[in-house]
């Protein structure tokens, strides 16, 4: 039996299969228990490791490879996820808070290390492990519509400073621990690190922009280019005696602007989040020595309390100091504190790197007690941080325009948006592009487009894409052209019933979605209307749908429709409104246009958390009322405010009284279709009336 287990442990295919099974099953189970999914991965590593079933061996080459790739990927994604645009808006304040939330925990951790008998190098490294942070609470502030709050933006921007500084300390500490230390060697290390960083940040960034420009829509090659950049940067870091995770993080920053929030980023994050990053956490669990872990809790409890308590106190001091410097209120200050508490990505990767490094005498940079304390720190802060964020962020004031001391306005307000949006008068005739590719949905889409175009004295442009071939004399091309012609003839017949002008187009293109987007741009379209179906095949789930690609690449708004009745019968319109933004206003404008074209009425539904302060609810309703007045919606629209903790249930229940629900989508693309929130996903599954998913560029 032992021989069989040994053979299984040494088989890379078996190890890979076990890892896939763990990643598939464990995180959802732990999330149902209201624990982070990564805790389940650590638990799996412990159970499958040497202190459990011993099905996986932490010392095997395959496990080391998977864990290393996961660690590199984790730090790369950490760099990729930093919002450089938001950082630029609040860079001065972000640097101040970043410095405070780095140096105070660094000092606190160093003091803890020295008091427990560690040397200066190890103590400073312990301090750096407390200094970075992972924005686990970001989805919470995003859900509450508080991302544009200046305190939140400052905290997001500070992540750049804390992560880079923590990794810099790690690089120097590892260099000191590995060899003879001198001021000259330190200077050489810093200079080489500076040159290396410049090459990665500026060289890779410019090279990436040029490569993406030349390759256009070749997403597969762009994806491979990004991966190559990551691992080249990691190898380069090792060549200058710096840990590979430093190179991975810098590579993430370097290609941040290049990939933006586009499909390549989606693919990179999908592969990492699905496979390699979870493998890293399982590998962490395999390294946990359970007897030593229990011994640490039992006999080194003061060290654990010192590290965990030192982090919590020092992060609170940093947020409090920032409050008094920039006159934030306590809700903003405590939200900054809660967002900067979780220690996951950079902390765990750096702790593992420090734990695995040994000097010539075989001594580790940090011992088992510190490594185990960091695991406890991760468990505590990954749970405590999001819980506190949910508590404090609900009390934040709605984002307002503030002055940052240099006369730069942060964020946007209704006063800024309305004049800008009202002045955006299109010089061309109102044009609606309608791709025709499904005879079953063709009539409803043409009817919808005709209603909107007629209201604006505009024109509809039915577009049929004939799939191209290498040779234009191929009989298949002729067949595709004939089919397209038949579809367009039917579209013209339907449009004539509504007495609206029509400009049909047949386009030969080897990429249907890009053909639609390019046709819309050529016609300077104001809107693209498309049909959507729920059930998509495996190919679409892996590579995205036509609708998904058009939505991503279009220059104008896209309305994706699932109509259960003729458009002329849709009079009662429900529009859930989460927050006030440009994208929200554009969605309201679309709803208003359809309502006026079809003699309909609009209900704007806003759902608040139970913890939302009454003052904030009142302020939101006042702003929404003003918006209705500005757009002349007062006569055929009303506002409905509901306090409930399950927005999806409220929308589904309310939809029973309406003919059409309009939901916002986002200009992102995923492997499985349009990117929508968890709430929208739940609504889509259970909605039993007609639906429009509406999104616009830059949303």
Kindly report, residue by residue over 289-323, the tens digit of the pLDDT: 777 777 777 778 888 889 889 899 999 999 999 98
556 found inside a domain: yes
Instruction: Give me the pLDDT at residue 320, please.
Output: 92
Instruction: Give me the pLDDT at residue 469, please.
Output: 63
292 found inside a domain: no
643 found inside a domain: yes
Instruction: Give me the pLDDT at residue 234, please.
Output: 86
Integer Cα distance of 395 and 221 in angstroms: 46
Chain mean pLDDT for the chain: 77
572 and 516 inside one domain: yes
Instruction: Single out the residue in 353, 382, 397 at which a domain terminates.
Output: 397
Instruction: Give me the pLDDT at residue 412, please.
Output: 43
**pLDDT class for 678, splitting at 50, 70, 90?**
low
480 and 585 inside one domain: yes
Instruction: Give me the pLDDT at residue 49, please.
Output: 81
With both helix axes pointing from N to C terminus, report the angle between 345-356 and 244-254 in degrees, rounded to the nearest 10. Answer: 150
* pLDDT for residue 654 is more than 50: yes
**pLDDT class for 104, splitting at 50, 70, 90?**
very high
361 and 505 inside one domain: no
Integer Cα distance of 669 and 212 in angstroms: 17
Encoded tokens for 264 = 């390549």
* pLDDT for residue 674 is more than 50: no
* pLDDT for residue 64 is more than 90: no
Encoded tokens for 666 = 């986002």
C-beta separation of 151 from 410 below 8 A: no
**pLDDT class for 404, splitting at 50, 70, 90?**
very low
Alpha carbon 502 to its chain centroid, in Å, reads: 40
393 and 443 inside one domain: no
DSSP state letters, 384-411: HHHHHHHHHHTTSPPP--EE-SSS-EES
Q: Closest by alpha carbon to 114, among 371, 347, 370, 381?
A: 370
Where is pLDDT greater, at 419 or 363? 363
Integer Cα distance of 337 and 396 in angstroms: 13
Instruction: Give me the pLDDT at residue 313, please.
Output: 92
Instruction: Single out the residue in 380, 397, 414 at which a domain terminates.
Output: 397
**pLDDT class for 655, splitting at 50, 70, 90?**
confident
Range name among 90-99, 103-112, 626-635 with the lowest pLDDT average: 626-635
* pLDDT for residue 537 is more than 70: no
* pLDDT for residue 641 is more than 80: yes
Where is pLDDT greater, at 385 or 185? 385
39 found inside a domain: no
The CATH number of residue 258's host domain is: 1.20.1530.20
Instruction: Single out the residue in 382, 397, 412 at which a domain terminates.
Output: 397
* pLDDT for residue 549 is more than 50: yes
Where is pLDDT greater, at 696 or 311? 311
Q: Which value, to the nearest 10 degrees, does the dihedral of the CA atoms of residues 176, 177, 178, 179 take?
A: 50
* pLDDT for residue 17 is more than 90: no
Helix (H) or strand (E) holding 694: strand 690-695
52 found inside a domain: no
Encoded tokens for 246 = 């430093």
433 and 353 inside one domain: no
Burial class (CB in 10 A: 0-12, 13-18, 19+), 24: exposed
**pLDDT class for 144, splitting at 50, 70, 90?**
low
350 found inside a domain: yes
Integer Cα distance of 491 and 19 in angstroms: 52
372 and 480 inside one domain: no
* Beta pairing, strands 402-403 & 409-410: antiparallel
Instruction: Give me the pLDDT at residue 314, please.
Output: 92
Buried b (16+ CB within 10 A) or exposed e, 392-403: bbbbbebbeebe
74 found inside a domain: no
**pLDDT class for 470, splitting at 50, 70, 90?**
low
Per-residue CA distances from 113 to 87, 127, 128, 307 (Å): 32, 8, 11, 9
The CATH number of residue 682's host domain is: 3.40.50.12370
Integer Cα distance of 436 and 460 in angstroms: 12
357 and 464 inside one domain: no
Q: Give the count of beta carbons closer than 10 Å to the beta carbon of residue 390.
A: 17
Burial class (CB in 10 A: 0-12, 13-18, 19+), 242: buried
Quote the domain boundaries for residue 354. Answer: 90-275+300-397
Runs of H (alpha helix) within 52-182: 61-81, 84-89, 91-115, 120-131, 138-143, 150-178
Contacts of 296 (CB under 8 A, 6+ apart): 303, 304, 368, 369, 372, 373
The predicted-structure confidence for 407-444, as pLDDT tens digits, reads as follows 333 334 555 555 555 555 445 678 888 888 777 778 88
* pLDDT for residue 58 is more than 80: no
Which of the residue ranges 149-158, 279-288, 451-460, 658-667 has the most confident prediction, judged by mean pLDDT?
A: 451-460
673 and 566 inside one domain: yes
C-beta separation of 451 from 498 below 8 A: yes
108 and 223 inside one domain: yes
The predicted-structure confidence for 612-638, as pLDDT tens digits, reads as follows 667 777 877 887 787 777 766 666 788
Provide the percentage of residues in the chain whose pLDDT is more than 90.
2
155 and 210 inside one domain: yes
Integer Cα distance of 440 and 398 in angstroms: 45
* pLDDT for residue 397 is more than 70: no
Runs of H (alpha helix) within 340-474: 345-356, 368-393, 414-422, 439-455
The predicted-structure confidence for 211-226, as pLDDT tens digits, reads as follows 887 776 677 788 888 8
Integer Cα distance of 371 and 357 in angstroms: 12
Integer Cα distance of 495 and 486 in angstroms: 15
DSSP state letters, 466-481: EEP-SSTT-HHHHHHH
C-beta separation of 385 from 315 below 8 A: no
433 and 537 inside one domain: yes
Number of domains in the chain: 2
284 found inside a domain: no
Instruction: Give me the pLDDT at residue 401, please.
Output: 41
Instruction: Give me the pLDDT at residue 435, please.
Output: 87
Over residues 46-59, the mean pLDDT reads 80
* Beta pairing, strands 558-562 & 690-695: antiparallel
Strand partners, 462: 434
105 and 244 inside one domain: yes
With both helix axes pointing from N to C terminus, report the angle between 330-339 and 150-178 in degrees, rounded to the nearest 10. Answer: 40
Over residues 581-596, the mean pLDDT reads 82
pTM given for the model: 0.57
User: For 231-286, what is the HEC assignment?
Assistant: HHHHHHHHHCCCCHHHHHHHHHHHCHHHHCCCHHHHHHHHHHHHHHHHHHHHHHHH
């Amino acid at each position: 039996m032992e021989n069989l287990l040994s053979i299984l442990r040494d088989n890379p295919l078996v190890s890979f299969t076990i890892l896939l099974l763990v990643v598939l099953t464990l995180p959802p189970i732990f999330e149902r228990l209201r624990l982070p999914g990564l805790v389940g991965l650590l638990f799996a590593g412990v159970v499958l490791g040497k202190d459990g079933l011993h099905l996986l061996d932490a010392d095997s080459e395959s496990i080391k490879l998977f864990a290393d790739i996961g660690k590199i990927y984790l730090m790369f994604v950490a760099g990729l996820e930093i919002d450089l645009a938001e950082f630029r808006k609040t860079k001065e304040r972000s640097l101040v808070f970043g410095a405070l939330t780095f140096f105070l925990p660094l000092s606190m951790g160093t003091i803890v290390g020295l008091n427990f008998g560690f040397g200066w190098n190890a103590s400073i490294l312990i301090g750096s492990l407390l200094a970075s942070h992972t924005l686990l609470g970001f989805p919470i502030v995003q859900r509450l519509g508080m991302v544009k709050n200046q305190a939140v933006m400052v905290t997001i921007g500070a992540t750049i400073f804390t992560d880079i500084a923590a990794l810099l300390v790690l690089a120097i500490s590892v260099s000191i621990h590995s060899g003879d230390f001198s001021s000259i060697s330190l200077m050489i290390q810093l200079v080489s690190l500076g040159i290396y960083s410049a090459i990665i940040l500026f060289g890779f960034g410019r090279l990436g922009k040029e490569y993406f420009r030349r390759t256009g829509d070749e997403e597969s090659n762009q994806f491979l280019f990004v991966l190559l950049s990551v691992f080249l940067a990691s190898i380069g870091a090792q060549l200058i005696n710096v840990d590979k995770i430093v190179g991975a993080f810098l590579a993430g920053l370097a290609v941040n602007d290049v990939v933006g929030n586009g499909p390549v980023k989606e693919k990179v994050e999908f592969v990492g989040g699905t496979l390699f990053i979870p493998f890293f956490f399982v590998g962490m669990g395999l390294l946990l020595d359970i007897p030593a872990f229990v011994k640490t809790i039992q006999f080194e409890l003061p060290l654990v309390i010192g590290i965990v308590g030192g982090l919590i106190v020092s992060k609170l001091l940093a947020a409090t100091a920032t409050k008094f410097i920039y006159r934030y209120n306590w809700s903003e200050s405590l939200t900054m504190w809660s967002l900067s508490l979780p220690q996951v990505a950079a902390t765990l990767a750096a702790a593992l790197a420090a734990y695995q490094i040994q000097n010539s005498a075989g001594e580790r940079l940090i011992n088992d007690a510190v490594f185990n304390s960091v695991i406890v720190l991760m468990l505590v802060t990954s749970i405590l941080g999001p819980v506190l964020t949910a508590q404090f962020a609900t009390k934040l004031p709605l984002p307002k325009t503030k002055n940052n001391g240099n006369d730069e306005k942060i964020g946007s307000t209704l006063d800024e948006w309305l004049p800008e949006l009202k002045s955006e008068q299109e010089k061309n005739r109102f044009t609606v592009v309608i791709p025709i590719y499904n005879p079953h949905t063709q009539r409803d889409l043409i009817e919808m487009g005709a209603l909107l175009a007629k209201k604006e004295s505009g024109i509809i442009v039915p577009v049929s894409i004939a799939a191209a071939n290498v040779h234009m004399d191929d009989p298949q091309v002729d067949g595709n052209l004939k089919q397209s012609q038949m579809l367009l003839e039917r579209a013209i017949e339907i449009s004539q019933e509504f007495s609206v002008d029509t400009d049909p187009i047949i386009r030969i293109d080897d990429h249907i979605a890009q053909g639609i987007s390019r046709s819309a741009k050529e016609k300077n379209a104001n809107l693209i209307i498309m049909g959507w179906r729920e059930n998509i095949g495996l190919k679409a789930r892996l590579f995205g749908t036509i609708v998904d690609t058009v939505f991503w690449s279009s220059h104008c708004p896209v309305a994706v429709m699932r109509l259960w009745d003729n458009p002329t019968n849709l009079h009662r319109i429900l529009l859930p409104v989460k927050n006030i933004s440009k994208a929200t206003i554009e969605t309201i404008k679309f709803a208003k246009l359809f309502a006026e074209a079809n003699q309909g009425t609009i209900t704007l539904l806003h759902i608040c958390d139970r913890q939302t302060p009454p003052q904030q609810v009142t302020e939101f309703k006042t702003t929404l009322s003003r918006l209705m007045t500005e757009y002349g919606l007062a006569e055929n629209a009303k506002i409905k405010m509901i306090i409930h903790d399950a927005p999806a249930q409220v929308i589904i229940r309310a939809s029973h009284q309406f003919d059409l629900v309009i939901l916002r989508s986002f200009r992102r693309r995923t492997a499985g279709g349009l990117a929508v929130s968890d709430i929208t996903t739940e609504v889509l599954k259970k909605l039993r009336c007609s639906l429009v998913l509406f999104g616009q560029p830059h949303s």
